[in-house]
Amino acid sequence: MKRFVKNILIGAALLLAGCSSEPQTGTDRKVEELLGQMTLREKVGQMNQLSGGAWLAETAAKGEVGSILNCVDPAEINAVQRAAVEESRLGIPILVSRDVIHGFRTIFPIPIGQAATFDPAIVEKGARIAAVEATASGVKWTFSPMLDIARDPRWGRVAEGAGEDPYLDVQMGVAMVKGYQGDDLNDPTSMAACIKHFVGYGAAEGGRDYNSTMISERSLRNTYFPAFKATAEAGAATLMTSFNEIDGIPSTGNRWLLKNILRDEWGWDGMVVTDWNSAGEMIAHGFSRDLKHTAEQAINAGVDMDMMSYGFIQYVEELVKEGKVSEKEIDRAVRNILKLKFDLGLFENPYVDETASAKVDYAPEHLEAAKQCALESAILLKNSNDVLPLDKAKTILVTGPLADAPYEQMGTWAFDGQQEHTVTPLEALREEYNVIWEPGLAYSRDRNTKDFAKVRSAASRADAAVVIVGEEAILSGEAHSLSNLDLQGAQSELIAEVAKAGKPVVVVVMAGRPLTIERDLENCDAMLYSFHPGTMGGPAIADLIKGKAVPSGKLPMTFLRDAGQAPFYYNHNNSGRPCNGTETLLNDIPIAAGQTSLGCTSYYLDTGYGPLFPFGYGLSYTTFKYGNPVLDKAEYGRSDVITVSFELKNTGDREGTEVAQLYVQDLVGSVVRPVKELKGFQRVTLAPGETRTVTFDLPVAELAFWNIDMEHVVEPGDFKLWVAGDSASGEPVGFAVL
């Protein structure tokens, strides 16, 4: 009843507003009307986001919380919502949020694994399914996608993003935003996306989470901004500030980022939330004096909502009274928050149907899509003598700590995935083979080798061995950086032990990051890298091993030979002394050699110049041959589109899918340009022996970069272009831009 009266009042006010001369329409008018009725305290309440469930009902009834996170119990959500809608003075609904990062109940591969599919369509589908499941539990806002470019696998959060490349990041980010938000935010299954962490968080020094970053403005614009700009343009409803500081300014207090770039330059009109207490952390950074100061700095910089610092709710009224924060800034923030709530349809439909989730969670089509994504994301790194697929073997040994680890297989940030729904490789392989099961190690960090003799003897009784190793979920993700990227515990020793039996050895790695697996490659015949593949990882891996499916994933990050090579990425600038192909390695150096006897180029004496595997790399059970790229012209104007075609042939005897990649180099610029940049990719499925002409259309405008005058332009000059199966292959053709 109370709610009904309240709605009448709001409705009457809206009618009156309709008679005013203000040129406002629809949602904007509703927002202004509501804003006009709010006290300062109520406004600040909307700007406050708290973690919790039903116990926040009292706070909601007082209008002192605008959004909650971390509650996914529909009954609890409804309890808080009822307090907000029916007991607070203005009945403004609560916005319920959650980290739905790679699925809600049905867990998809971790985002870095999804990026390895190079398939935006399956990634969009995964995000859609996540939204369907999460909204059925009452979650209307997810803190995803994470768009942080990550060039250092020591950083634990590489698991949560699309890797090192800006172009791939854009494609994956836009796909996720579209999937979460659907065609219309007002749809009951739509969930607002949150592009994060703005910005540069992945460039933490030394890969140590939360650490400082030094990123030039040009590098921000050329490398770190593009995915944020593209997803903002694709309609991402919200954005999260990052924990890090850049050049001394924490993002949460960075007016240049949050106002000049985001609002003025990009014209984005969504809502900005801090990361968890990232406002409060500006004290530890030494940027703010105290909590009150953090609120002042964050709001004036352009933050709309405070996640868990309590600074806004405690100090904003004082700050306004003292003239340190203007009501105009507060109204800006509240407008953005209210608009989102109207857009999401929360005023009309604040409550969740408490029986809905049971009907959609783990729906068969969700599991099918999760399996498809896991199939496409696995990368074949080695396959000596075509040992894979194991289509002839009858009895196999399955061993390793990740072979039957339903929780670990879901990976980091899988809060709501239920491990009892995970199908492990062990279970799935049992459907295909006579399996001898010997775990070997209890968990990935286990050093206890007492069962190794049993494992080796089992290997000798089997036709082949499948060793499933990697990282427990907790070893990657937030605050889980590592300085050593070798397999943990005695896992490498386990692989070596199995190899002694002399049977074909297939290693599967389930991990949250690129690990340094060079020595393990030597001890196996084949290696599939699946990252943490999620709920349906087991059946996907079994299908790939058996040959019911063919691997097609490609590396979204450079794989290192040694962690000491990090950061390492394919699209780097050249030094003045690039490697000339004549590395002298440590053991080649004569004793008492003269100082100038080496090549004097940019590489490590111990690991050499190259990585273990380049960005974009991945094998198949078949092989592909790339014909020479043919361009439609030799010279282009700046508004032209470059059409490049080439023949791609499946030269093997089974069907397979190749991710054909297009790279470009701008040879001379007003500032140094990367040695190569990904500018397109296509998944191409070919029958055995089939040849197809593949065509890329590349607008010349895509060659623009932020130049010496900090203008986004295409500079005329000579370029090279490659089409290849990875970032280190192919022969370039040249073209010019006039």
Could you give the residue numbers annotated as active site? 275
Q: Rounded to the nearest 5°, which phi and psi values hold at 476?
A: -125, 180
d(CA 586, CA 578): 18
CB 725 within 8 A of CB 661: yes
Judged by CB, which is closer to ligand NOJ: 31, or 232?
Answer: 232
CB neighbour list of residue 47: distance below 8 Å, 6 or more residues apart: 66, 299, 304, 305, 306, 312, 313, 316, 330, 333, 334, 337
Which of 143, 180, 569, 722 touches ligand NOJ by CB under 6 A? 143
Judged by CB, which is closer to ligand NOJ: 205, or 327?
Answer: 205
Binding mask 276-295 for ligand NOJ (x = CB under 6 A): x-------------------
Q: Rounded to the nearest 5°, which phi and psi values hold at 69?
A: -130, 155
**What is the CB neighbour count within 10 angstroms for residue 32?**
18
Instruction: Please state the closest distance from residue 196 (CB atom) to ligand NOJ, in A.
Output: 6
CB 158 within 8 A of CB 202: yes
Instruction: Please state the closest distance from residue 137 (CB atom) to ligand NOJ, in A.
Output: 16
User: What is the bridge-based pairing of β-strands 245-246 and 249-250?
Assistant: antiparallel
d(CA 45, CA 262): 24
Crossing angle between the packed helical segments 120-136 and 166-181, to the nearest 10 degrees:
40
SS (H, E, C) 409-422: HHCCCCCCCCHHHC
Number of residues that this document lists for the chain: 738
Nearest one of 494, 160, 105, 226 to 509, comparing CA atoms: 494
Closest-by-Cβ residue to ligand NOJ is 143
Judged by CB, which is closer to ligand NOJ: 143, or 636?
Answer: 143
Binding mask 158-197 for ligand NOJ (x = CB under 6 A): --------------------------------------x-
SS (H, E, C) 528-590: EECCCCCCCHHHHHHHHHHCCCCCCCCCCCCECCCHHHCCCCCCCECCCCCCCCCCCCHHHCC
Instruction: Please state the closest distance from residue 239 (CB atom) to ligand NOJ, in A.
Output: 12
Residues 76-105 that bind ligand NOJ (CB under 6 A): 99
Instruction: Please state the closest distance from residue 309 (CB atom) to ligand NOJ, in A.
Output: 12
Q: Does 228 bind ligand NOJ (CB under 6 A)?
A: no
Instruction: Please state the closest distance from residue 145 (CB atom) to ligand NOJ, in A.
Output: 11
Q: Name the one residue in this structure whose structure tokens are 């969740």.
A: 352
Judged by CB, which is closer to ligand NOJ: 86, or 478?
Answer: 478
Nearest one of 237, 232, 137, 131 to 187, comparing CA atoms: 131
Q: Name the one residue in this structure whose structure tokens are 């065509």.
A: 695
Residues 240-279 that bind ligand NOJ (CB under 6 A): 275-276
Judged by CB, which is closer to ligand NOJ: 99, or 343?
Answer: 99
Instruction: Please state the closest distance from residue 276 (CB atom) to ligand NOJ, in A.
Output: 4
Judged by CB, which is closer to ligand NOJ: 113, or 161?
Answer: 161
Q: Rounded to the nearest 5°, which phi and psi values hold at 436?
A: -100, 120
Binding mask 465-484 for ligand NOJ (x = CB under 6 A): -------------x------
State whether the Cα torsion 248-251-254-256 is positive or negative: positive
Judged by CB, which is closer to ligand NOJ: 208, or 572?
Answer: 208
Residues 609-638 that bind ligand NOJ (CB under 6 A): none
Nearest one of 644, 662, 668 to 717, comparing CA atoms: 668
**What is the CB neighbour count within 10 angstroms for residue 284?**
11
Judged by CB, which is closer to ligand NOJ: 196, or 293?
Answer: 196
DSSP 264: I
CB neighbour list of residue 331: distance below 8 Å, 6 or more residues apart: 35, 43
DSSP readout, 457-475? Answer: HHHHHSSEEEEEEE--GGG
Instruction: Please state the closest distance from residue 143 (CB atom) to ligand NOJ, in A.
Output: 3
Judged by CB, which is closer to ligand NOJ: 167, or 228?
Answer: 228
Judged by CB, which is closer to ligand NOJ: 478, or 690?
Answer: 478
CB 475 within 8 A of CB 512: yes
Judged by CB, which is closer to ligand NOJ: 210, or 315?
Answer: 210
How does 191-227 read in b/e, with b if 16+ C-beta sit within 10 Å? bbbbbbbbbbbbbbeebbbbbbbebeeebbbbbbbbb
Nearest one of 672, 715, 698 to 218, comparing CA atoms: 672
Instruction: Please state the closest distance from residue 259 (CB atom) to ligand NOJ, in A.
Output: 22
Crossing angle between the packed helical segments 311-321 and 291-301, to the nearest 10 degrees:
80
CB 315 within 8 A of CB 295: yes
Instruction: Please state the closest distance from residue 123 (CB atom) to ligand NOJ, in A.
Output: 18
Query: Under rule CB under 6 A, how many of the chain's residues touch ligand NOJ?
Result: 6
Instruction: Please state the closest distance from residue 162 (CB atom) to ligand NOJ, in A.
Output: 15
d(CA 616, CA 116): 8
Instruction: Please state the closest distance from residue 101 (CB atom) to ligand NOJ, in A.
Output: 8
Binding site for ligand NOJ (CB under 6 A): 99, 143, 196, 275-276, 478
